[in-house]
Amino acid sequence: MKPPIQVNNHPFRFLLYLEWILLAIITLTAIIPYPSPRFSSKFPELATASLIIFGLMGLRLPTSNQINKIIYTACEIILILITGSVGGRSARIFPFIYIILVTRSCLIFKLPGRLAVTFISFILFLFTLQGRVKSFPVPPQVQERFHFFTLSLALLFGLSLIFVLLLMNTVLSERQSREELAIANEKLRQYALRIENQATLEERNRIAREIHDSLGHSLTALNLQLETALKLSQSNPTKAQSFLARAKELGSKALQDVRQSVSTMRSHPLQEQSLEQAIAILAEDFQRSTGILPICRINLEYSLPLEINTAIYRIIQESLTNISKYAEASEVKIEIDKTPKSLRLNIRDNGKGFDFKQNTTGFGLQSMRDRTLALGGIFSVKTNPGSGCQITVDIPLTRLTR
């Protein structure tokens, strides 16, 4: 429900001031006595009271209830008719009150109501003018000229009402456009803030994934190397030394990953090597830490976009990390193949598996799923306790040809 128009929220306060000035002039003409009894006010007190009430009604315009608007306008018309009938000399300025009526109607009614009030104002003005013409005797020799003047006055007043109506419609339309533009700008600003917050959140998640995939993988392998070296430190110091050397290499790599993460991961693991080479290095690292060499079958007829390569690399990296930590597998297979509609990645192991329904919140699986969904792909996991695990990633072929 829209609040009524008052002084504090009047859209065009200068119009309100103009109303008061005009009404003050009309009131003064009704109060001040005039030498000729023909132009003197019959009931100056009634005319003054009507004008004051009419002016005070402009301090509060109804905007919500249609019935209240009609009653309000009817009361205004009655006050105008009273002023015109008993105003005497003030009746000379009487037609301009109809302009105030039309102006107010533009603020409270929509276009059909504005047209109706304007038409009623013009008809009432014609009746009033006709009554004054009959009560004013005119000599026959100037009667034609007098009628022409009356017709010109009626046409001029009608055009004035139309001009006021068109002017108010234009001003109100412009004001409404500015308000709608301000609302649209505010919505756009809020939307931009949401987008910025969403982009920030996605960037944080991306950095978190990068830290987890790269640093987590290196630290896991480092921990396995140190555990093996600790077990062999007494029985086979020479072999333990080789594990410690490998652990040192992994520690250096982890430190490098930390530096890369702090710099928002600007460097890329596949910048200077192909996907096949990067996967081969992952397989060698996995063999060093677990003693198992993954079986890799990569069938790619063309190079992939960097974002696809990165996603596949990180998914394989995370999968090998999980296998080395939890699977206790003796065989790992990595297959990359191109189907007519998609690029498919399969990672299988013959480990102990797990209950997928009870292990859906792990960051590793969520990271792989997020990377796949970001490329419009489908991520699926098939596993049961004691039957190994198979991870399948399908990325639409349309993503590869953009």
Residues whose CB falls within 8 Å of the CB of residue 153, separated by 6 or more in sequence, listed in order: 129
What's 301's DSSP letter?
S
Bridge partners (DSSP) listed for residue 298? 336
CATH value at residue 397: 3.30.565.10
User: Which amino acid does the sequence have at 390?
Assistant: Q
Higher-confidence residue of 337 and 256: namely 337
Bridge partners (DSSP) listed for residue 344? 337, 394
Q: Which of 102, 137, 172 is the last residue of a domain?
A: 137
Higher-confidence residue of 2 and 383: namely 383
- Asked if residue 128 belongs to a domain, the reply is yes
Reported confidence tier of residue 143, pLDDT bands at 50, 70, 90: low
- Asked if residue 330 belongs to a domain, the reply is yes
Q: Which of 67-76, 187-196, 202-211, 348-357 has the lowest mean pLDDT?
A: 202-211
Residues whose CB falls within 8 Å of the CB of residue 116, separated by 6 or more in sequence, listed in order: 109
Tell me the pLDDT tens digit for each residue of 157-216.
888 889 888 988 888 888 888 888 989 888 888 887 787 777 677 667 766 766 666 677
- Asked if residue 14 belongs to a domain, the reply is yes
Bridge partners (DSSP) listed for residue 395? 343
Q: Which of 137, 166, 194 is the last residue of a domain?
A: 137
- Using left for φ > 0, alpha for ψ between -120 and 50, and beta otherwise, residue 310 falls in alpha
d(CA 288, CA 197): 42
- Asked if residue 156 belongs to a domain, the reply is no
Q: Which of 137, 163, 180 is the last residue of a domain?
A: 137
DSSP states of 342-398 as a string? EEEEEEEE-S----GGG----HHHHHHHHHHHHTT-EEEEEE-TTS-EEEEEEEEGG
Share of the chain above pLDDT 90, in %: 13
Tell me phi and psi for residue 192, to 5 degrees: -65, -40
Reported confidence tier of residue 265, pLDDT bands at 50, 70, 90: very low
For residue 290, pLDDT over 50 is answered with yes
In total, how many domains does the chain have? 2
- Asked if residue 195 belongs to a domain, the reply is no
Among 348, 401, 391, 352, which Cα is nearest to 371's? Answer: 391
Domain that holds residue 352: 293-402
- Asked if residue 238 belongs to a domain, the reply is no
Q: Which of 89-93, 242-246, 313-317 has the lowest mean pLDDT?
A: 89-93
- Asked if residue 265 belongs to a domain, the reply is no
- Asked if residue 230 belongs to a domain, the reply is no
